[in-house]
Amino acid sequence: MTIKEYLKKKLVKVKKEKVLIPCLEGQYLQGRKALITGGSSGIGFSIAQSFLKNGASVVICSRNKEKLENAKRDLIEKTLCDEDRIEILELDITCIPKMKDTLGQFLLDKRIDIFVNNAGINKGKMFPDTSEEEYDCVLDTNTKGMYFISQEIIKYMISNHISGNILNIVSSSAIRPGTSPYIISKWGERSLTLGMAKKYLPYGIIVNGLAPGSTLTPMLCKNSDNLDLEYSPSGRYAAPEEIGNLATILVSEMGRMIVGDVIYATGGAGIITIDDTAC
């Protein structure tokens, strides 16, 4: 590359066209009810929105009741759905005994046939500078919390003879070298997805994973709606709405022959290239 070409690449901004993200909308989930962890923002919120636009009722879960109440108002505004189609549940999946009790009481008079394991965090330094506190914090939510709430949901579905779907929101990090607690946690989530899918298909419970790449959520980008992402082969972040659309397809009748698979939505980052391993 000549100096002229280099300067042109660095200094000239190419105006990109706005990316239009259509929202899948229909009756693909009519009559069904979903429980979504981490449902007050980001990917979880967009999944709830897509489910509502496709006929389902939703229960959104989070540790923060105020955020849940705000999210419910936003979902009603965005989807124009009836208020009674959205419930909130204050739930901390890292406190296993309390989670079991709260969830058990809530499910006593409910019929949930879709469960979305979405709650997750990413924090701490990369290996070899990770502290024990950082490691425990990430693994307690992403792997341990997911493991034990999945046990409760599986027991509930089997005991109530419910055929349904479990969708684990994994990450493209699940195929990257394990240099952080987050990446290690996502490997564990992918492994559990395969194990649950094999064991519980005979009960009519379909388990899959959905693995987004870098997605424009508050976890990665606060107060920004710019999708541009230089390191991605696609040149941009995924929009949360795109992940919501895919989640709807995977838990609908259209996705019944997808079993034990992890569907990657990375824009090429992680599949074509893993140059973003530090993310």
**Residue 153 clears pLDDT 90, i.e. is over it:** yes
Label residue 15 by pLDDT band (50, 70, 90).
very low
**Residue 164 clears pLDDT 80, i.e. is over it:** yes
Whole-prediction pTM: 0.86
* DSSP secondary structure code for residue 1 in this structure: -
What's the confidence (pLDDT) of residue 170? 92
What's the confidence (pLDDT) of residue 9? 45
169-180 residue pLDDT tens: 998 877 888 899
Q: Of these residues, 182, 203, 231, 264, which one is catalytic?
A: 182
Question: Which structure tokens are listed for 181?
Answer: 């607690």
Which DSSP string do the residues of 24-72 spell out, in sequence order?
P-SSTTTT-EEEEETTTSHHHHHHHHHHHHTT-EEEEEES-HHHHHHHH
Decide if 215 contacts 241 (C-beta within 8 A): no
94-122 residue pLDDT tens: 999 999 999 999 999 899 999 999 999 98
Q: Is 182 a catalytic residue?
A: yes
Mean of per-residue pLDDT scores for the chain: 87
Topology of the domain comprising 25-265 = Rossmann fold (3.40.50)
What's the confidence (pLDDT) of residue 223? 55
What's the confidence (pLDDT) of residue 18? 53
What's the average model confidence in pLDDT over 83-91?
97
Report the candidate in 19, 87, 18, 11 with the shortest Cα–Cα distance to residue 52.
87
